Protein backbone atom coordinates (compact mmCIF):
# COMPACT_ATOMS: atom_id res chain seq x y z
CA UNK A 1 0.00 0.00 0.00
CA UNK A 2 1.21 3.49 -0.84
CA UNK A 3 2.59 5.62 1.98
CA UNK A 4 1.22 8.87 0.47
CA UNK A 5 -1.86 10.00 -1.41
CA UNK A 6 -2.81 13.10 -3.36
CA UNK A 7 -4.65 15.75 -1.32
CA UNK A 8 -8.32 16.26 -2.16
CA UNK A 9 -7.74 20.00 -1.84
CA UNK A 10 -5.32 20.42 -4.75
CA UNK A 11 -6.36 22.86 -7.45
CA UNK A 12 -4.59 23.25 -10.77
CA UNK A 13 -5.47 26.36 -12.73
CA UNK A 14 -4.29 27.52 -16.14
CA UNK A 15 -2.22 30.63 -15.60
CA UNK A 16 -0.84 32.65 -18.46
CA UNK A 17 0.44 30.91 -21.53
CA UNK A 18 2.04 27.52 -20.81
CA UNK A 19 1.80 27.92 -17.02
CA UNK A 20 -0.18 26.18 -14.31
CA UNK A 21 -0.89 27.55 -10.87
CA UNK A 22 -0.98 24.85 -8.19
CA UNK A 23 -2.90 25.67 -5.02
CA UNK A 24 -3.67 23.58 -1.96
CA UNK A 25 -6.82 24.75 -0.19
CA UNK A 26 -5.94 23.01 3.05
CA UNK A 27 -2.51 24.58 3.59
CA UNK A 28 -2.73 27.65 1.36
CA UNK A 29 0.43 26.60 -0.48
CA UNK A 30 0.70 27.99 -3.99
CA UNK A 31 3.27 27.85 -6.77
CA UNK A 32 3.54 28.05 -10.53
CA UNK A 33 5.00 25.51 -12.96
CA UNK A 34 5.16 25.18 -16.71
CA UNK A 35 2.58 23.10 -18.55
CA UNK A 36 5.26 20.56 -19.50
CA UNK A 37 6.28 20.21 -15.82
CA UNK A 38 2.62 19.71 -14.96
CA UNK A 39 2.39 16.92 -17.56
CA UNK A 40 5.14 15.10 -15.64
CA UNK A 41 3.81 15.95 -12.15
CA UNK A 42 0.12 15.14 -12.57
CA UNK A 43 0.51 11.36 -13.18
CA UNK A 44 3.08 11.16 -10.37
CA UNK A 45 0.58 12.62 -7.90
CA UNK A 46 -1.68 9.69 -8.73
CA UNK A 47 1.15 7.16 -8.42
CA UNK A 48 2.99 8.20 -5.26
CA UNK A 49 5.10 5.02 -5.08
CA UNK A 50 6.62 5.81 -8.48
CA UNK A 51 6.93 9.46 -7.46
CA UNK A 52 8.82 8.51 -4.28
CA UNK A 53 11.20 6.21 -6.12
CA UNK A 54 11.97 8.64 -8.97
CA UNK A 55 11.83 12.04 -7.23
CA UNK A 56 12.08 11.53 -3.45
CA UNK A 57 13.14 15.10 -2.60
CA UNK A 58 10.35 16.60 -4.74
CA UNK A 59 7.82 14.28 -3.13
CA UNK A 60 8.95 15.40 0.33
CA UNK A 61 8.65 19.04 -0.71
CA UNK A 62 5.09 18.52 -1.96
CA UNK A 63 4.29 16.54 1.19
CA UNK A 64 5.47 19.43 3.39
CA UNK A 65 3.35 21.85 1.34
CA UNK A 66 0.27 19.63 1.70
CA UNK A 67 -0.15 18.54 -1.93
CA UNK A 68 0.45 14.98 -0.71
CA UNK A 69 -0.72 13.52 2.61
CA UNK A 70 -0.12 10.27 4.40
CA UNK A 71 -2.42 7.62 2.97
CA UNK A 72 -4.36 7.20 6.22
CA UNK A 73 -4.79 10.95 6.84
CA UNK A 74 -8.47 12.00 7.01
CA UNK A 75 -8.56 15.50 5.49
CA UNK A 76 -12.27 16.01 6.20
CA UNK A 77 -11.83 15.19 9.89
CA UNK A 78 -8.86 17.57 9.96
CA UNK A 79 -10.95 20.37 8.39
CA UNK A 80 -13.70 19.77 10.97
CA UNK A 81 -11.11 19.90 13.75
CA UNK A 82 -9.62 23.18 12.43
CA UNK A 83 -13.12 24.67 12.20
CA UNK A 84 -13.97 23.70 15.77
CA UNK A 85 -10.62 25.00 16.94
CA UNK A 86 -11.23 28.36 15.26
CA UNK A 87 -14.73 28.62 16.74
CA UNK A 88 -14.09 27.45 20.29
CA UNK A 89 -10.58 28.75 20.93
CA UNK A 90 -11.55 32.31 20.12
CA UNK A 91 -11.76 33.99 23.52
CA UNK A 92 -13.22 37.24 22.15
CA UNK A 93 -16.71 38.03 23.39
CA UNK A 94 -19.01 40.18 21.27
CA UNK A 95 -22.12 41.80 22.66
CA UNK A 96 -24.60 43.86 20.69
CA UNK A 97 -27.09 45.91 22.64
CA UNK A 98 -30.24 47.18 20.95
CA UNK A 99 -31.74 49.53 23.56
CA UNK A 100 -35.03 49.91 21.67
CA UNK A 101 -36.68 48.47 18.62
CA UNK A 102 -37.55 52.00 17.62
CA UNK A 103 -36.93 53.01 14.02
CA UNK A 104 -35.73 56.53 13.46
CA UNK A 105 -36.13 56.72 9.69
CA UNK A 106 -39.77 57.85 9.69
CA UNK A 107 -40.39 56.92 6.09
CA UNK A 108 -43.46 58.66 4.61
CA UNK A 109 -45.03 55.35 3.55
CA UNK A 110 -44.48 53.49 6.84
CA UNK A 111 -47.61 52.23 8.61
CA UNK A 112 -45.90 51.49 11.98
CA UNK A 113 -46.88 53.59 15.00
CA UNK A 114 -43.32 54.18 16.28
CA UNK A 115 -43.94 54.07 20.02
CA UNK A 116 -41.26 55.63 22.20
CA UNK A 117 -39.09 52.88 23.63
CA UNK A 118 -36.56 52.72 26.40
CA UNK A 119 -34.49 50.21 28.28
CA UNK A 120 -35.64 49.70 31.84
CA UNK A 121 -33.25 50.09 34.77
CA UNK A 122 -33.74 46.40 35.57
CA UNK A 123 -32.65 45.45 32.05
CA UNK A 124 -29.60 47.73 32.30
CA UNK A 125 -28.68 46.09 35.63
CA UNK A 126 -29.01 42.59 34.10
CA UNK A 127 -26.78 43.60 31.16
CA UNK A 128 -24.15 44.96 33.55
CA UNK A 129 -24.28 41.72 35.56
CA UNK A 130 -23.94 39.68 32.38
CA UNK A 131 -20.91 41.71 31.23
CA UNK A 132 -19.29 41.28 34.65
CA UNK A 133 -19.98 37.54 34.49
CA UNK A 134 -18.47 37.19 31.04
Count CA atoms within 13 Å of residue 19 on its CB side: 6
Residue 23: the pLDDT is: 97
Task: Give the separation between CA 88 and CA 86, rounded to whole angstroms.
Answer: 6
- The answer, as to whether pTM is greater than 0.75, is no
Q: What is the pLDDT of residue 55?
A: 92
- Whole-number Å distance between alpha carbons of 101 and 78: 42
pLDDT digits (tens, 9 = 90+) for 18-70: 999 999 999 999 999 999 999 999 999 999 999 999 999 999 999 999 999 99
Q: CA separation (Å) from 16 to 9, 32, 63, 110?
A: 22, 10, 26, 55
Amino acid sequence: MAKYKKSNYNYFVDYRENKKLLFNGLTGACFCITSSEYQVLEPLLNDTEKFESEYPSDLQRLYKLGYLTESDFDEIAYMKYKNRQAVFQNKAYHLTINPTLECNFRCWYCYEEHPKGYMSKATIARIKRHITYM
